[in-house]
Amino acid sequence: MSTCLNIPGAVKDILHYSNFKECGTPSSANLDHSLFFKVVKNMYCPNSFNPDHLTLAEFRQMTFKMPGKVFRHPTSWMPPKEALQSLCELVQCQVDYLFTSFDHGSELPNFFNKGQICHKTRFSI
């Protein structure tokens, strides 16, 4: 939590609200992927480095092995960009769902049509 709070604007700007109702409340929001990646980089960053000076690929490589040190345990490696993008899409699904949770007349989002969830077999998603 302190990592998110130390990034300027991370808590305030991680979601972009839209489609405001008459009462002023938003009816949808979009996750800012670049800010999400920045938060993840800061979570994996050691105190001796500034995560803003490295690309995501360079920084991920540093989570495997720091210069002059031995390889780190795989559980401490930063996930690949594709996995982080999938995580962003799943978080977006949850945000879309939460905007329908208190309105009994709203339709649930169709996550299958958005391509974020796919139906593989009869009993698995």
The whole model's pTM is what? 0.75
Asked if the structure places residue 122 within a domain, the reply is no
pLDDT in tens, 23-82: 777 878 899 999 888 888 888 877 777 878 888 888 888 888 877 888 888 888 888 989
Confidence bin at 99 (pLDDT 50/70/90): confident
Asked if the structure places residue 123 within a domain, the reply is no
User: What was the pLDDT predicted at 116?
Assistant: 62
Rounded to whole angstroms, how far apart are CA atoms 94 and 90? 6
> What mean pLDDT is predicted for residues 6-14?
81
Asked if the structure places residue 119 within a domain, the reply is no
Q: Is it the case that residue 124 has pLDDT exceeding 60?
A: no
Asked if the structure places residue 125 within a domain, the reply is no
Could you give the number of structural domains in the chain? 1
41-54 as b/e, with b when 16 or more CB fall inside 10 Å? Answer: bbebbeeeeebeee
Asked if the structure places residue 102 within a domain, the reply is yes
Q: Which domain holds residue 19?
A: 2-114
Asked if the structure places residue 49 within a domain, the reply is yes
Asked if the structure places residue 77 within a domain, the reply is yes
List of long-range contacts for 48-56, beta carbons under 8 Å, 24+ apart: 56/81
Asked if the structure places residue 56 within a domain, the reply is yes
